[in-house]
Every structure is written in C-alpha cells, then in structure tokens.
Amino acid sequence: MQVSPTPKAPIKVLLCAPRGFCAGVDRAIQIVDLALEKYGAPVYVRHEIVHNKYVVESLRNKGAVFVEELDEIPDNDRPVIFSAHGVPKSVPEVARSRNLFFLDATCPLVSKVHKEAILHDRRDREILLIGHKGHPEVVGTMGQLPEGRVSLIETAADARQFAPKTDRQLAWISQTTLSVDDTQEIVEILEERFPTITKPHKDDICYATTNRQHAVKHIAPQCDAMIVVGAPNSSNSKRLREVGERAGCEKAYLIQRASEICWGDFEGVKTLGITAGASAPEILVEEIVEAFRLHFDVTLETVTTAEENIAFNLPKELRATPLVGETRPAE
C-alpha cells in the first residue's frame, strides 16, 4: 500500500514592496561593474561597496579587490572606488597625493549630509550628528571636518545629556539609515532643549530607509513571524528588524541566506512577512521564498506601500559606457 506524502502546512507570505536595493546601492554596484568593464581587473574598492556579502563576493569574482585602507593598494594606474557609505575628506586627499585614479560611489544622499555639515561649519554652527558610532557613514560624515567639530548623538539619553561646547548656534544632521522613530524621539528632545537649533531643510534619513520601514510597520501586526533579508553589519537592515519587532511582530529575524533559516522558528507560523534591506539583492529574497516553498504550501502576496522611481547619475568618467537599458536622470 502506497503511503501518501504528508501535506505541507499552509503559510501566507506577505512580501513588502518596496524592498531591497535603493538607488544609491544600485549606483554603487554599477560603478564597480562599469569600472571593471571599462578598465579591466583588478579594480580596488575601499571598504565593502555596500554591506552585503553576496554582492561583495559577486564583485570579487569579477575582479574587484576589497581593501580597508588605501595603504593596501599598490602605486599603479588601477582604479580605486570609494564605497556608497562615503569617506572622510582625508581619503581622497591621500589618493590625490599618491596620484591614484579614484571614482567616488558615495550615495548622493550621503553626500548631501556631508555638504550640510560643511555649510553649518562655515556658518559657525556647532554640529550634532545623530548616528551610530563606528558606522562607515558616520566616520565619513564626521571626517568632513576637523576632529572635534561634530558631536555624535547616538541615543535619546545622549540628547538629554548633551552640553554645548560653545555659545554658538546649534545644528543637527543625521545618518541616512536610522530608525525613523528613534531619530524623531532624539530630535524632539534636542528641539525641546534647544528651540533655536537648525534642522535639515529636507530629512536626512533617506527615502528608501523611510519607505522600507513604513512597509514593515504596515504588515508587522498581521505577521506571526518576519524575515529581513540583509547583513548583520547593515544599519538599515538591522533597523528594519527592530521596526518589525516594535510594530507587533515579536519573531523578527535578520537573515542573509536561505541556508541560515532555522526551520524550528517557523513551526506554527501562519503568516510570514518578508522584506529586504537596501543593500540586499532580490535574488536572495527569491532564494528564501523558494526555500519556504519546499517546506510549506506557500500563498504569496505582495503588499505595496510606496512606488520608487529614483535613480542617480554615474560619475562622468563612466557615463560614456552605460549599462544596457540605463537611463540618465538628472542629479
């Protein structure tokens, strides 16, 4: 007698949209790809171009060489690319002093924050940067000015305890990949304590971070569990997991690949939410969905909370060799 296979348990998968790559990440990866295409391998990249192991390994296999500092790069004519997170002003200065040919893949929205810091300093304002210590974006932003010119505010407690160093006008700026809610709490404390503090003309937290967090908030109350596809060193991915947890989904996991899934965590789950950080490629989302299809009877539903059509220009050195199908929107 033939035994019938055990039927798979049903699971509804709510797929967040938007998710995954933002315009800044897409641009940075294109810069490395086009540099390899135009100049050949090797192409050196200072720091991970974006915080995703799959992306970094894919580019490494094409001929990109990742380093942490410029002194790891030999004196030659090979291109050097600065990551999407931005770099301190000292880095391009060193590159110029060594006659290195470099391409800057800094996200234009991070560059906007750099310009704000420089402008506030020129106007003799004392600058507060809301962000996470040691994150490359924060290192790069603080490094636009001499040491001591920017004070880092990481938490609401920091905002309550901050004491101005001078009697100059205060101004705040922020890392682009923060929790919208956490940042708002910090800003409210600062603005209550220092009513004349200058704020950005336009929110420093980028559109992609905001949109992805909003999407997670929208579906989290409906989910028994949630997966954020992203790397453990990705700030925006970590924030998405935290947002999901706070928005009502107690079982929220940050996972890089399907091989990391602990299936015991999903026993009894009826509705699963899936999103991806801004540096996670869609192929990894597809991989995880397919893994769930092997274990469950999956019903897939895309939940769209925003439409994104933003793109950024490539560096002028690479515009002569665009990728097939690439459009060139204004900066």
Torsion from C-alpha of 237, 160, 112, 90, nearest 10 degrees: -90
Domain with residue 82: its CATH number is 3.40.50.11270
Which of the two residues, 202 and 262, has the higher pLDDT score?
262
Q: Are residues 79 and 119 located together in one domain of the fold?
A: no
Q: Are residues 59 and 89 located together in one domain of the fold?
A: yes
Q: Which domain holds residue 241?
A: 9-21+207-304
Whether 313 is covered by a domain: the verdict is no
Whether 279 is covered by a domain: the verdict is yes
Q: Are residues 218 and 287 located together in one domain of the fold?
A: yes
Residues 206-221: what's their mean pLDDT? Answer: 96
**319 φ, ψ to 5°?**
-70, -20
Please say which residue of 74, 107, 140 terminates a domain: 107
pLDDT of residue 328: 40
Instruction: Enumerate the β-bridge partners of residue 227.
Output: 253, 274
Q: Quick one: tokens of 160?
A: 């309550």
pLDDT of residue 135: 95
Q: Are residues 132 and 219 located together in one domain of the fold?
A: no
Q: Are residues 92 and 146 located together in one domain of the fold?
A: no
Length of the chain: 331
Please say which residue of 76, 107, 138 terminates a domain: 107
Q: Are residues 62 and 126 located together in one domain of the fold?
A: no
**17 φ, ψ to 5°?**
-140, 125
Mutual angle of helices 207-219 and 235-246, in 10-degree steps: 30
Q: Are residues 288 and 253 located together in one domain of the fold?
A: yes
Q: Quick one: tokens of 222?
A: 């409906």
Look at residues 291, 284, 288 and name the one whose alpha carbon lies nearest to residue 55: 284
Q: What distance in Å separates the CA atoms of residue 66 and residue 46, rounded to the nearest whole number?
A: 6
Domain with residue 162: its CATH number is 3.40.1010.20
Given the residues 93, 137, 260, 317, the one annotated as active site = 137
Please say which residue of 73, 88, 107 terminates a domain: 107
Whether 322 is covered by a domain: the verdict is no
Whether 155 is covered by a domain: the verdict is yes
Count of the separate structural domains present in the chain: 3
Q: What pLDDT, in 10s, does the model give residues 147-198?
A: 999 999 999 999 999 999 888 999 999 999 999 999 999 999 999 999 999 9
Q: Are residues 98 and 121 located together in one domain of the fold?
A: no
Residue 259: Cβ within 10 Å count: 9
Q: What pLDDT, in 10s, does the model give residues 277-328?
A: 999 999 999 999 999 999 999 999 999 999 999 999 999 999 864 443 344 4
Whether 4 is covered by a domain: the verdict is no
Whether 140 is covered by a domain: the verdict is yes
Task: Tell me how far CA of residue 331 lies from CA of 68, 77, 94, 111, in angstroms.
Answer: 29, 29, 27, 12
What is the share, in percent, of the chain residues with pLDDT greater than 90? 90
Q: Are residues 90 and 125 located together in one domain of the fold?
A: no
Q: What distance in Å separates the CA atoms of residue 45 and residue 72, rounded to the nearest whole number?
A: 11
pLDDT of residue 322: 45
Tell me the helices (H) and strands (E) count for the chain, helix number first.
Answer: 10, 12
Asked if residue 198 lies in contact with residue 171, where contact means CB atoms within 8 angstroms, the answer is yes
Q: Are residues 223 and 246 located together in one domain of the fold?
A: yes
Residues 117-126: what's their mean pLDDT? Answer: 97
Whether 292 is covered by a domain: the verdict is yes
Told to judge if 137 belongs to the known catalytic residues of this protein, a careful annotator would answer yes
Q: Are residues 211 and 300 located together in one domain of the fold?
A: yes
Whether 300 is covered by a domain: the verdict is yes
Q: Are residues 298 and 218 located together in one domain of the fold?
A: yes
